[in-house]
Structure 1
Amino acid sequence: MKVLILTLCLAAAALAQEKYDSVDDNFDISEVLDNERLLNSYAKCLLDKGPCTPEVKKVKDKLPEALQTRCAKCTDKQKQIGKKLAQEVKKKRPDLWKDLVAHYDPQGKYQESFQDYLKP
């Protein structure tokens, strides 16, 4: 799930010292959380089990870097969206959260930093 949250938070490609593109900062995360079909579609993309929309593909491509750098290039809005998404998926869809964590962090390297990220 951590992957899903960060994935939905990230935008287009960026240079090493820049923030990710803020073009998607107005993304309505409640639309995804309130729509089981849409959430499942995004999850399948992130888990390499289904097709990706161009928007989710951009996020998916940046997700590994975001995990490694503790979302250093994320805008404040992207961090806020990601945090909300992660908290909700972890609480309401623990099965999906487990799959995403297993896919993007199989060795558990990012667990501590991600737990810090999710703190209120």
Structure 2
Amino acid sequence: MKLVVLTMCLVALVLAEEKYQEVENNFDISELLENDRLLVSYVKCLLNKGPCTPEVKKIKEKLPEVLETHCAKCTDKQKQIGKVMAQQVKKTHPELWQQLKALYDPQGKYQQAFQDYFSA
């Protein structure tokens, strides 16, 4: 599950040398959260069930690293965006949330870290 959070965290980000850089400094998370169709589209990209924007494609490529490092290269803003987005997907689309968990954390090795992330 942590992978999902971190994945969503990187929706507007690309990898830089030390930290992931934001694709757009003025990323408005409220726009994504208010547009369910857009949110579902991003999730379907992550699930390999739909087309990807260039930004989401970059996120998808970085997911293994993000999960393994517990988002060590993420900025505080990226972590907050990821947390909010993951909570929204979990709340409004539990079936997609379960699919993300099954795809990105099939053995459940990130479950505890993910719970800690949500409670922080």
Same fold per superposition (TM over 0.5):
yes
Per-residue CA deviation, residues 32-89 of structure 1 (Å, 9 max, x unaligned), is 2221211121111100111100011111111111111110000000001001111122
Letter in 1 for 2:54: P
Q: Distance in 1 between matches of 2:53 and 2:82?
A: 18
**Alignment check: 8 A CA contact 2:2 2:117 kept:** no
Look up the match of 1:12. 14
**Alignment check: 8 A CA contact 1:25 1:77 kept:** no
2:79 equivalent to 1:84? no
Look up the match of 2:27. 27
How much identity, in percent, do the aligned residues show? 68
Unpaired segments ≥5 residues, structure 1 = none
If the length of structure 2 is used for normalisation, what is the TM-score?
0.87
Unpaired segments ≥5 residues, structure 2 = none
Q: Distance in 1 between matches of 2:104 and 2:26?
A: 25
2:75 equivalent to 1:70? no
If the length of structure 1 is used for normalisation, what is the TM-score?
0.87
Q: How many angstroms does 1:14 deviate by? A: 2.8
* Segment drifting more, 68-77 vs 5-14: 5-14
**Alignment check: 8 A CA contact 2:5 2:82 kept:** yes
Letter in 1 for 2:106: P
